[in-house]
Structure formats: structure tokens, C-alpha cells
Amino acid sequence: MALKETFPVVTDMKVIPVAGNDSMLLSLSGAHGPFFTRNIVVLTDSSGNTGLGEVHGGEAITKALEESVHFVMGRQISEYRSILKTLTERHNERSKNSEGLQNLSLANLKDVVHSETAIESALLDLWGKFLGMPVCDLLGDGRQRDEVVILGYLFYQGDRRKTDLPYIDESDSDNPWFRIRRNEAMDADGIVAQAQALKEYYGFKDFKLKGGVLEGSSEMEAVEALASKFPDARINIDPNGAWKLDEAVELCKNSSLTYAEDPCGTEMGYSGRETMSEFKMRTGIPTATNMIATDWRQFYHAVGQKAVDIVLADPHFWTMSGSVRIAQVLNDWGLTWGSHSNNHFDISLAIFAHCAAAAPGDITAMDTHWIWQDGQHLTHNPHQIKEGKIRVTDAPGLGIDIDMDALYKAHEVYTKLPFGARNDAVSMQYLIPDWKFDSKKPCMVR
């Protein structure tokens, strides 16, 4: 029998949209609703193994995954690269006229997110189990590190009590972080309190503040308060390009920032790549992005204009193999890899961990929303953040096992929602009536 004929084939592919509880987190795009949504892929192969994948929520992504089923069923798991190539080409064709995320329009998120990442993850999970190897050993040049440093992701948060929406309350929890993570936090003291609780529970040494919410001066006050409280911490801010170039320079120059993520964006006929290049020259502060270099062509122009030092290559935007491939290029060119995140369950946490473990070079601390979702597990054994790190074990595949009961309960929550795609304007309008998104105005400044 030929070796090729001995590999398992995919016998079942389930696409399951799910939802979980969220906090009223604020960003340039508005306020998170009481629920976040994701799409889960569960593959089964002829050997009886199960492979898992997760990607952003929304009906468009669900449909793209469902339309991919016949490209996956009956294929050998060893063909995952060929399958992924076909699906990526289909994605690129669907999204070829999109304007991307340079102005943070959530309507374009479906075009930037590669739905096929969930399928890639599930296939790699199966392939790793077949070979008895962890996924990080199958990506790029293999495992580069056993521990991945994570940062504490801080958010301003609205007062959920001003809404009639079903946000949950955990203020009676024994967990120091869970106890405050659903509560209003609209000033520097609230942000520092979040950081203290995160450091106590997860051991974070580095922090990132989501900006684009208040006036820039108020947000930089919070940055300096964090720097004063945690003098050894690496601290950065992400206003999602809300600041004008001159304002960004004035706010950030001589600050305590380690780097600035998308401090400015499109302005007066200039692209975000051009304004960020000027920001770097005028401040000397390294820049990071998940907005102006979300694909290879954008990356080419961003690097050509010396606009970015750190590419936050979320594998859900780049695919897992693509995220590690750009990490290799960044390392060869003396630049830095990192990963942006979105609200997610523990399957995506494993995806992030394995990509970061395979990314070469001196990568930056990875950010994750998992801290806001922790406790809502879809697996029996989610990765743990301890001492500010995730340790990637030698367990085969992703190293996690699906909890089907939890998965279908999360699906049941999803079926009761009025819509699946993210829309931060709905909750925001409880705080500011008739609020509308404006890419150049922080969400609370109207």
C-alpha cells in the first residue's frame, strides 16, 4: 500500500456558530454588546480523531465556512496545505474590492478575517494528532519557544446599568479579576485597578490600553499612571488611528510608551502608512499595527515607507501559516512579530499560543481578549496564563479537547441573538443617543 493511502481522511465537518458573555468594553467602534460571537469548526477523520478551529462570528463567515465543506470532506489530512491554498484563493476573490480595516469599519471585518483559518487549525490539529506532534512543531521552522509572554489588555468600560441589556455581574466573585471585569472603568484609576487585578491573578508584567475612547490627553494620563504604578512594565496604547498626526505626536513624544499601535491614520489625503511613517520620524517611538498591514500587499507598502516596526499578525487575519511566515520575514528584516486579538474562546487561545511558539526572533508580548472571556470554556483543558505566560506542552495537535456539551450550549445562546455579526453602535447608543461611528472621533467624544 502506498504511503499516501495510509493517511486518515476527513469524514465529518461541523460549522457551529456560538456566543458567550462580554463586558461593555469601549473602543473607537463603540461599545461591546452583552454577547460576542464566534464560529467553531469541528472536523472528524477516519481514525476517529477530532480537530478544532475557531474564527470570528457573523453570518458572512458562517456562510463562507459552510461553502467550504465540500472542499474538505473526503480529503486526506496530509493535504491541508492544498486545501488551505484553495480556500485562501476563494477568500481573496471574495474580498478583492474591500477597503480593509484602515478606517476600522466593522462592516469590512469579514473581508479581513480569513474564515479558512478555522479549517486550517482543525486540519493541523488532526495532522498533529496523527503524527504525535504539537501544532507549533508543524508551523514554519517548528517550535521556537516553550513559553509565550502575554500582556494584560486594558479597556475603558461603560456602565452596563445604564442599559436594559443582559450584561452579567460578577462583583461577588472570589476571583480578584472576575470581580471587577464587568464594572465601569472610565478614568485612570479604573484602568490601574484593572491592571492590578490582572497582575495579581495572571501575573502580567506588560500592559496595553485600548484607546480611541476619551480625549487623547486623558488616555495618556492613564498610560502615565500605569507607568508610575508599574515602573518595570512595557506599556503601549492603541487608539485605532483616531488621533490626528500632530495630536499623536504631541501626546506621545517623551511619554512612557514602549510602542504606539496605530496612533494615527488616514488624514487630509494621506494614508495611515504615510502618517505613521511621519509619526515615527517625529517621535522616535516604535509603531505597531493591525490596521495598515493586514495582508502582504499592504505590508509591502508599510515596510517601504518605514511606517511600522511591529506587525500584529493575528492568525485569524493571516491564517496560521501566514502569520508564522510573516514572523520569519520580520525576523530576517530586523522587525518584530506580535498578534492582535478579538473576543474569543479557548480554541483561538490555543491558535494564538501555537503561532507565537513557532514565530522566530524576539517577538513582542502577545495580546489576547481571553482574560475577558476566561471561565467560558469550550474545551476540557484550555491553555492557562500563569506568571504572564502560556506554556505550550508537547501534547499532540492543539493540545485541547472539545467539550461538546459546552459547545452546544454556546450555540444555543447564539440562536437567541438578533444578529451574529458584531455591531458596537447598538450598545453605544445607550450611552450617547443616536451615536454613529466616526473613525476620527473617540467614541465618547461627540
Give me 225's grid cell.
499612571
Contacts 24+ apart (CB under 8 A), 183-187: 183/157, 184/157, 184/158, 184/159, 184/160, 185/155, 185/156, 185/157, 186/156, 186/157, 186/158, 186/159, 186/214, 187/218, 187/222
Residue 27 lies in a domain: yes
Same domain, 337 and 255: yes
Residue 2 has pLDDT above 60, yes or no: no
Residue 59 lies in a domain: yes
Question: Which has more confidence, 72 or 421?
Answer: 72
pLDDT value of residue 97: 73
- Given a contact cutoff of 8 angstroms between Cβ atoms, the answer to whether 192 and 219 are in contact is no
Residue 57 has pLDDT above 70, yes or no: yes
pLDDT value of residue 1: 42
d(CA 288, CA 290): 7
pLDDT value of residue 5: 64
Same domain, 199 and 93: no
What element of type H or E holds 26?
Answer: strand 26-27
Amino acid of residue 85? K
d(CA 282, CA 136): 39
Same domain, 96 and 206: no
d(CA 132, CA 123): 14
pLDDT value of residue 348: 98
Same domain, 182 and 55: no
Same domain, 95 and 196: no
Residue 422 lies in a domain: no
Catalytic residues: 210, 340
Same domain, 131 and 174: no
Same domain, 26 and 162: no
CATH assignment of the domain containing 377: 3.20.20.120
What element of type H or E holds 331?
Answer: helix 320-332
d(CA 15, CA 68): 10
CATH assignment of the domain containing 121: 3.30.390.10
pLDDT value of residue 409: 98
pLDDT band at 6 (very low <50, low <70, confident <90, very high): confident
> What is the number of domains present in the chain?
2
Residue 125 lies in a domain: yes
Same domain, 52 and 192: no
Residue 321 lies in a domain: yes
pLDDT value of residue 136: 98
Residue 346 has pLDDT above 60, yes or no: yes
Same domain, 253 and 153: yes
Q: Which of 285, 287, 296, 297 is nearest to 319 (CA)?
A: 296
Strand order of the β-sheet with 385-386 is 147-149, 389-391, 385-386
CA atoms within 13 A on the CB side of 179: 11
Same domain, 181 and 300: yes
DSSP assignments along 228-258, one per residue: HH-TT--EEEE-TT-B-HHHHHHHHTTSS-S
Cβ-Cβ contacts under 8 Å for 221 (sequence gap 6 or more) = 188
Q: What integer is the mean pLDDT of 65-86?
A: 97
pLDDT band at 110 (very low <50, low <70, confident <90, very high): confident
Q: What integer is the mean pLDDT of 415-433?
A: 93
Residue 231 lies in a domain: yes
pLDDT value of residue 105: 66
The answer to which of 4-18, 35-49, 221-235, 249-263 has the lowest mean pLDDT is 4-18
- The domain in which residue 387 lies consists of 147-398
pLDDT value of residue 4: 55
Same domain, 111 and 167: no
**Mean confidence (pLDDT) of the chain:** 95
Residue 51 lies in a domain: yes
Cβ-Cβ contacts under 8 Å for 310 (sequence gap 6 or more) = 259, 261, 286, 287, 288, 289, 335, 336, 337, 338, 364
Bridge pairing between strands 235-238 and 259-261: parallel
Q: What integer is the mean pLDDT of 174-192?
A: 97
Matching residue, cell 488624514 = 267
d(CA 39, CA 17): 4
pLDDT value of residue 108: 67
Give me 354's grid cell.
501555537
pLDDT value of residue 298: 93
Residue 148 has pLDDT above 90, yes or no: yes
Q: What integer is the mean pLDDT of 285-297?
A: 95
pLDDT value of residue 104: 64
pLDDT value of residue 109: 75
Burial of 254 (0-12, 13-18, 19+ CB in 10 A): exposed
Residue 55 lies in a domain: yes
pLDDT value of residue 3: 52
pLDDT value of residue 75: 97
Matching residue, cell 476540557 = 380
Residue 101 has pLDDT above 80, yes or no: no
Same domain, 94 and 118: yes
Start-to-end Cα distance in the chain: 70
